[in-house]
Each structure stands twice: as structure tokens, then as C-alpha cells.
Amino acid sequence: AQSVTQLGSHVSVSEGALVLLRCNYSSSVPPYLFWYVQYPNQGLQLLLKYTTGATLVKGINGFEAEFKKSETSFHLTKPSAHMSDAAEYFCAVSRGMNTGFQKLVFGTGTRLLVSP
Amino acid sequence: NAGVMQNPRHLVRRRGQEARLRCSPVKGHSHVYWYRQLPEEGLKFMVYLQKENIIDESGMPKERFSAEFPKEGPSILRIQQVVRGDSAAYFCASSSDRETRNNSPLHFGNGTRLTVT
């Protein structure tokens, strides 16, 4: 079975500060990993994904994440927070290739608060 | 180029009533997924359908919940005799045949927020 743990239900940063949102996963097969962002009363928007290949993945809005197999982690970072980054962020894992469909397992989410 | 469309955006039902949630996938997509987001929790998989067929319903409660994706028309998630615990945001996602084979990310709708009073 797969699972995702997001440490910290809330993270507060100042505008311009580094953003670090933590995600650890558990998977018995090579995983595909995703970060999604959810703005209030909206659906999920894909930030970035890791499938295979380069372990440092760049996404939209200046976000990036690094897949570390030895640590079973996929932490999300952004060098400088912007007020518009305030949202809920979800890490998700799927079983990867040849699964037949995308059955995502989500973490419980981290709410990012950005103060001026 | 419309994405996944869900309606209604907000739905209020009294306990015991039926709730019907609609999802129109991206044009040309034949794979539909329903996820539920309970308050303060992440999304949880409910059911995966591929045109007229239920492929995986392992996340669907055994009673009162049903889903369909007819040959013509939107996918429907139906909840009979709703209870307060059904209050949640229900998200639909879709993908094409090619995207499914490639394990490409799903396209999510904006969700239907169901409130049971």
C-alpha cells in the first residue's frame, strides 16, 4: 500500500522568505510523485511531478522539488515566497508505470500562510 | 478549451435527501475519477470509471453511494439518504486514453461542495 505524510498542517513564512513544505512517502513500487496546489474554493492545480529521470523537478510559479529515494522524501521548495503563494498544498503518490490508471494517494495537505 | 466542469458548485441537502453531483470531463476524455475531500483532510479516491464501466470502486462506501458514466452525458455521483458525515468537497478528474497509458497527471474540476443540514 502507498501512503503520504505531510509534516506540518500549517506553515507560515514572510514574503521573500524560503518556502519548504515537507512530504514523505511510502511505496512498495517505484512511485510517481506529485505536488498540487489548491486555492480557496477551487480545484487542484498541478505544480510539478516526478516520474523517472532527473530527481530535481522544476514546476510552475518558481516551485521545485527533489526526489530523494534514500529518504523517501519529495519536499517542495521555493526560494522566495510571494503573497500569491498562500494556498493549500498537497503531495500525492501513485503506483507509477503500468498501473492502468491514476489512483492517487494524497497527503492531508499543508496550508501555506504568507505574511507581508 | 473547457476543462473538467462540475455542477453544482455548492449543494445543500437535508438529511435523508438525495444528492446528485455532475461531472463533464474534458472533451474527448473517457476516463473519470471521483475523489472526496473531508474537512481538514486530503483527497481520497472513491471510484474510477471508463465510459459505461466501473473499473475500480474500492474507495466508495458500500451503501448509499453510486456512480455512473453513461455513453452520452456527464458522469454522475449519486448519494442517497445523505447524512451529515457526507458533507465534503467532491472532486472529479478526467484523463484521455493516451494520458492514462502514460500515467499523465489528471485534470481536476473545481469540485462540488456538499453541505448536509
Cα–Cα distance between B117 and B114 in angstroms, integer? 10
Nearby residues of B67 by Cβ (< 8 Å), 6 or more positions away: B34, B46, B47, B49, B54, B57, B60, B75, B76, B77, B78
Q: Which residues of B touch A103 (CB under 8 A)?
A: 33, 45, 48, 56
Q: Which of B10, B11, B23, B43 to mutate to test the interface with A (most CBs of A within 10 A)?
A: B43
pLDDT 10s digits, B26-55 = 999 999 999 999 887 888 999 999 988 999
For residue A112, the distance in angstroms to the closest alpha carbon of chain B comes to 14
Q: Which residues of A touch B40 (CB under 8 A)?
A: 9, 108
Q: Scanning the structure block, which residue is given the C-alpha cell 519529495?
A: A74
pLDDT 10s digits, B68-94 = 999 889 999 999 999 999 999 999 999
Q: Do A104 and B106 count as a contact with CB atoms less than 8 A apart? A: yes
Q: Scanning the structure block, which residue is given the C-alpha cell 475531500?
A: B37
Cβ distance B65 to B46 under 8 Å?
yes
Q: Is A61 helix (H, G, I), strand (E, B) or coil?
A: helix
Mean pLDDT for the stretch of residues B10-14: 97
- Evaluate the CA torsion angle B94, B98, B99, B101 in order and state its sign: positive
Q: Do A109 and B48 count as a contact with CB atoms less than 8 A apart? A: no
For B98, the enclosing helix (H) or strand (E) is: helix B97-101
| Amino acid of residue B64 | R
Grid coordinates of B51: 465510459
**Looking at residue B103, what DSSP letter applies?**
T
Q: Any bridge partners for residue A48, and if so which?
A: A35
Neighbours of A85 (CB within 10 A): 19
* Confidence band for A36, pLDDT divided at 50, 70 and 90: very high
Closest partner CB to A97 (pick from B42, B103, B108)? B103
Mean pLDDT of chain B: 92
